[in-house]
Homo-oligomer: A and B are copies of this chain.
């Protein structure tokens, strides 16, 4: 019998009993939520990263990989509008790993945890043949509550934070060129891939605005991550190619490397921006409050509609369902 990760997760979700005392949100969102609504609830999420699958140790500077190992987990807290507090780290270390590398990695870990006022409270180290980093992050639920995937309603506006596609372009540059000859102008793209920042503060502002109905982080690409919101909310979405945020460097990289820009934006993944839905009539309030902060760029890209799937309306007017499409299936 062939093993299917999707079947496995469906099986686990079916067996999950979300009615347990104190469990507010079980399997099926960026974080699980537990605790006591009177005295504060907790968000928890875990991610496992394997060398050669999720990162390439030899190409990723140790300090930046330390930062990214935390960032991808902190991003799950951002996706709920939460406040990061604690992490636990388990690592399988291979014999050839040097102390220099490991302490460099830890420097990156501590650096980003400090930036987000989060601390390391536990973990485990083991010896293995394959380097594996398993991180669990705990956050406090925002006093306004959490934003789940399942709250989107028909008529809501779909927003993304920008830019998108930069991490995919950065990865393509790293794969195409030797490190020594990479031009300085690509720094921002490379950084988007090697050192993404979780949108913690943006998530909190969206959460406290009371304007949003659903949210999640963009780790697998908008096509997939908006697909999750639609599936969990029992709705569809229509987004427009000509509304998607772009970036001058992304345009240039796509020309230089012959990349499909739409693929980078919709399916590139690892942007760790946010996709969220805003209640009808609430859009201006949220846009104004973010404009005042002056730090964040959010863009309306479409609407939540009756039905299912994520429909992309191309510049020419053609429509197609891109929900859960990976890069290779989009183009």
Contact = CB atoms under 8 A, between A and B. Distances in A.
Nearest to A123: B46
A277 interface: no
A126 B50 contact: yes
A92 interface: yes
A85 interface: yes
B90 A17 contact: no
Interface string A5-34: 101110110011100101100110001101
Interface stretch (A99-107, A201-209, A222-230): A99-107
Contacts of A88: 32, 44, 46, 136
A27 B102 CA distance: 19
A3 B93 contact: yes
Contacts of A102: 3, 8
A181 interface: no
Q: How many copies does the complex hold?
A: 2
A125 interface: yes
Interface of A: 1-5, 7-9, 11-12, 15-17, 20, 22-23, 26-27, 31-32, 34, 36, 38-40, 42, 44-50, 52-54, 85-86, 88, 90-93, 97-100, 102-103, 106, 110, 119-130, 132, 134, 136, 138
Given A46-B90, A47-B90, A132-B132, 17 more contacts: A1-B98, A3-B93, A3-B97, A3-B102, A7-B99, A8-B102, A15-B120, A16-B119, A23-B121, A26-B121, A31-B122, A32-B121, A44-B86, A48-B124, A48-B132, A50-B127, A53-B128
10 tightest Cβ-Cβ pairs between the two chains A and B: A39-B39, A134-B134, A48-B90, A1-B99, A32-B121, A130-B130, A32-B122, A50-B128, A136-B136, A46-B88
